[in-house]
A and B are shown apart, each in its own frame.
Chain A
């Protein structure tokens, strides 16, 4: 007799906890062949707002950590991902209908991407900052800083884990906190990734994962006054221009859809930073 399996309940990830949607709603996640895979929480606008509150609370701690510390915490996630490779491969095979080899490559690439970004945490300031030779007796230094809370619409098609990693990691590196709307059709690896975060040293609230309908939630995040930046990476199928218009009310920094999965780049890190220039007088001696 075969053993009865224990299906996993996929919930949201908000503020370091795994709540169901406050709305009580779920939706069916199906495999590539249409068969039932799991019920995922269908997050509401209230969940999205709760996630922003959690993300805001986490900003000072995460952005106040040293780059070296953030780099280590992010690297630790890569270590844990490596240990859970087979779980992610299984989920990707099931939900994307790809071969094990392709799923394996995706997980490898996701982990390598994560490591690549982790290494930037204590370097991006040097690459994007500048000492400025002003014409006068002043010390003058420009340094990038995290912008705050970044709302992200993850890529909605293609490699689900890699897509998520490709948008979440660059926002986190500088010290931003993130509210991400996962792929609606393939959210499983997003929630499993959130479980990895929860067992790593990432403080609660730094990464918040919402599953459900991006079309429903995105306008609330785009117009939310406590969100500093909006990454529309996976919003191509939505009315993303309207989202950008909503974001303009509070002059959010907005990245337009990329059409696919964004490749790793320093620009993607810098896009969610603000350059601060400090002048200080030098005395006459």
Chain B
């Protein structure tokens, strides 16, 4: 239940970022073979989740359009991209990085408008990381021999990439930058609710003179993505999104020989020991779960607090939450923006109601909720037990579940008690304890005394049902390459001499008709 703010705070005058920088079109087509073309599916509207106002009408790709896009990517791979030197591929990526920087403010405004995230995040986190991602992988394009797969690793061919709505442009960068650096061509489908920045990015590709067909961007709903990942002429599928869809993709691509990377859901434990630097921990907890309204697969949604500091941590957390500003995503002072869609808002509400019904104690600071748009006040649940659904299921919203522990062993057991394994946080001033606990956590990214840090040089991805494969860093590059050794495809190389004569045709996996 909402309570009065525990501290009074200055009232700020509105400080909205101007949308004048945008020159949006009223309709956007599909970006195929370097041009915007009409789609054959039923067009849909993209709206601002903060106001529910119409932004633009977006074309929808049907199976025929998917065919056209994949064919364009294949032709570009065969005739252009695979024949370019790595250095030249890199130059295109450097151009893209620079253009993203030059149009950074415009992209940030468009992202906040379409997604609902606070402008200070799109401006200071998303877009700078997008540029950084292209810069980082640009430099790899002519250095693939050092990727760790031996000399002359090969591109895979056409990559089908499907991305979520929580970091629309950043996820695009995570997918496209390494794919192009490695020499693949791309068909990418942005999320239905957040296609805008991907389409602005298509304009950037035109400005960069990227050869037509190297990157194709097709918009649409789930069926478009399904048609894309199941297209027979696709060699690689990269998906970021829900575990349920990831599972379906793993099934539908089984036996096809398509290489697959999946970055799926999470239910990260953020572990606070009693010797943690509490000031930093409070900021880290807030950043961990309320960054991007909690629409983060690696969000620190389960706070595990050592029992003896539980009350102090929760009290200070409540005080800190009372100072957060919820409202207009384009306002530079906004901390919490809009929930991305009505559907997501319903899900967050439903799981929160279940949390209450199951006996956890719900708390939100007093905050004004705008009348239009999709909003959810930052929420903390205390008295949560490991069996509660709010401690097990991904809520993907600004909802924190607080649990307690007494010993490091108990913290580790609780942290690992989930089918997910994407990320985790540890807060303690004792380095040796942090390293020992980090060793035991079954999670792909562990943040110690920090949370939600991302960097193009740092691999990101999950254990268990959070998916497989890594994005970022050298590891992220190899997800788009295969070794050119005689046993490529799960590469078989560097064997003792005598064994190299043992069987094995070059093992291309069965191109099975499922």
Contact B491 A251 (CB under 8 A): no
CB neighbors of B among A250-267 (8 A): 250-251, 253-267
Given the known A-B contacts A240-B255, A261-B502, A277-B459, are A251 and B264 also in contact in the complex, defined by CB atoms under 8 Å?
A: yes
Partner of B453, one of A136, A159, A275: A136
Docked complex Cα distance between A264 and B497 (Å): 10
Partner of A138, one of B254, B453, B473: B453
Partner of B512, one of A241, A255, A266: A241
Task: Say whether A109 faces chain B, with CB atoms less than 8 Å apart.
Answer: yes
* Most chain A C-beta atoms within 10 Å of own C-beta, residue among B442, B446, B473, B503: B503
Which residues of B lie under 8 Å from residue A116 when comparing CB positions? 495-496, 499
Interface flags, A102-135, vs B, CB<8A=1, else 0: 0000001100110010000000000110101111
Task: Say whether A5 faces chain B, with CB atoms less than 8 Å apart.
Answer: no
Which residues of B lie under 8 Å from residue A255 when comparing CB positions? 490
Nearest B residue to A115 by beta-carbon distance? B496
Nearest A residue to B504 by beta-carbon distance? A260
Question: Among the listed stretches B319-327, B346-354, B462-470, which one makes contact with chain A, having 4 or more residues with CB under 8 Å of it?
Answer: B462-470
Given the known A-B contacts A132-B459, A228-B464, A265-B487, are A251 and B262 also in contact in the complex, defined by CB atoms under 8 Å?
A: yes
Task: Say whether B49 faces chain A, with CB atoms less than 8 Å apart.
Answer: no
Contact A263 B444 (CB under 8 A): no
Task: Say whether B188 faces chain A, with CB atoms less than 8 Å apart.
Answer: no
Task: Say whether A8 faces chain B, with CB atoms less than 8 Å apart.
Answer: no
Nearest A residue to B509 by beta-carbon distance? A256
Tell me how many residues of B have a C-beta within 8 Å of chain A: 65
Which residues of A lie under 8 Å from residue B250 when comparing CB positions? 244, 247-248, 251
Contact B493 A241 (CB under 8 A): no
Interface flags, A161-184, vs B, CB<8A=1, else 0: 010000000000000000000000
Contact A277 B446 (CB under 8 A): yes
Interface flags, B232-255, vs A, CB<8A=1, else 0: 000000000001001100110011
CB neighbors of A among B468-490 (8 A): 468, 470, 473-475, 483, 487, 490
Nearest A residue to B508 by beta-carbon distance? A259
Contact A258 B455 (CB under 8 A): no
Docked complex Cα distance between A147 and B468 (Å): 11
Task: Say whether B448 faces chain A, with CB atoms less than 8 Å apart.
Answer: yes
Task: Say whether B505 faces chain A, with CB atoms less than 8 Å apart.
Answer: yes
Partner of B132, one of A135, A158, A159, A258: A135
Partner of A134, one of B443, B455, B509: B455
* Most chain A C-beta atoms within 10 Å of own C-beta, residue among B464, B474, B502: B502
Contact A135 B448 (CB under 8 A): no
Contact B450 A275 (CB under 8 A): no
Task: Say whether A72 faces chain B, with CB atoms less than 8 Å apart.
Answer: no
Contact A265 B504 (CB under 8 A): no
Contact B490 A249 (CB under 8 A): no
In the complex, what's the smallest C-beta–C-beta distance from A108 to chain B, in angstroms? 8
Contact B495 A256 (CB under 8 A): no
Docked complex Cα distance between A265 and B495 (Å): 6
CB neighbors of B among A231-285 (8 A): 240-241, 244-245, 247-251, 253-268, 271, 274-281
Task: Say whether A39 faces chain B, with CB atoms less than 8 Å apart.
Answer: no
Given the known A-B contacts A256-B510, A265-B494, are A251 and B148 also in contact in the complex, defined by CB atoms under 8 Å?
A: no
Task: Say whether B500 faces chain A, with CB atoms less than 8 Å apart.
Answer: yes
CB neighbors of A among B405-450 (8 A): 419, 421, 431, 434-435, 438, 441-450
Partner of B490, one of A136, A142, A248, A271: A271
Which residues of B lie under 8 Å from residue A130 when comparing CB positions? 459, 473-475
Partner of B495, one of A142, A245, A253, A263: A263
Judged by DSSP, the binding face of B is loop
Contact B444 A162 (CB under 8 A): no
Task: Say whether B25 faces chain A, with CB atoms less than 8 Å apart.
Answer: no
Task: Say whether A213 faces chain B, with CB atoms less than 8 Å apart.
Answer: no
Docked complex Cα distance between A274 and B445 (Å): 11
Contact A113 B505 (CB under 8 A): no
Contact A267 B491 (CB under 8 A): yes
Contact A250 B495 (CB under 8 A): no
Contact A113 B490 (CB under 8 A): no
Task: Say whether A140 faces chain B, with CB atoms less than 8 Å apart.
Answer: yes
Given the known A-B contacts A263-B504, A275-B461, A280-B434, are A134 and B453 also in contact in the complex, defined by CB atoms under 8 Å?
A: yes
Contact B148 A127 (CB under 8 A): yes
Contact A244 B255 (CB under 8 A): yes
Docked complex Cα distance between A251 and B247 (Å): 6
Contact A275 B475 (CB under 8 A): yes
Given the known A-B contacts A112-B498, A162-B502, are A134 and B492 also in contact in the complex, defined by CB atoms under 8 Å?
A: no
Partner of A142, one of B243, B254, B475, B512: B475
Contact A140 B446 (CB under 8 A): no
CB-based closest 10 A-B pairs: A241-B255, A260-B503, A248-B250, A244-B254, A134-B455, A267-B491, A280-B448, A265-B492, A264-B495, A256-B509
- Contact sample, A vs B, 30 pairs, CB 8 Å cutoff: A109-B498, A109-B499, A132-B458, A134-B453, A134-B458, A140-B455, A142-B473, A241-B510, A241-B512, A244-B250, A245-B251, A248-B247, A256-B490, A259-B503, A260-B502, A260-B505, A263-B492, A263-B499, A263-B500, A265-B493, A267-B493, A275-B475, A277-B444, A277-B445, A277-B458, A278-B438, A279-B447, A279-B450, A279-B458, A281-B450
Point out residues on B near A: beta carbons under 8 Å.
Answer: 132, 148, 243, 246-247, 250-251, 254-255, 257, 262, 264, 419, 421, 431, 434-435, 438, 441-450, 453, 455, 457-461, 463-465, 467-468, 470, 473-475, 483, 487, 490-496, 498-500, 502-505, 507, 509-510, 512, 514
Point out residues on A near B: beta carbons under 8 Å.
Answer: 108-109, 112-113, 116, 127-128, 130, 132-136, 138, 140, 142, 147, 158-159, 162, 228, 240-241, 244-245, 247-251, 253-268, 271, 274-281
List 16 extra interface pairs beyond A249-B247, A261-B504, CB under 8 A.
A109-B502, A130-B459, A134-B457, A135-B457, A241-B255, A247-B250, A250-B419, A251-B264, A255-B490, A256-B257, A257-B510, A258-B490, A260-B507, A274-B442, A274-B444, A276-B441
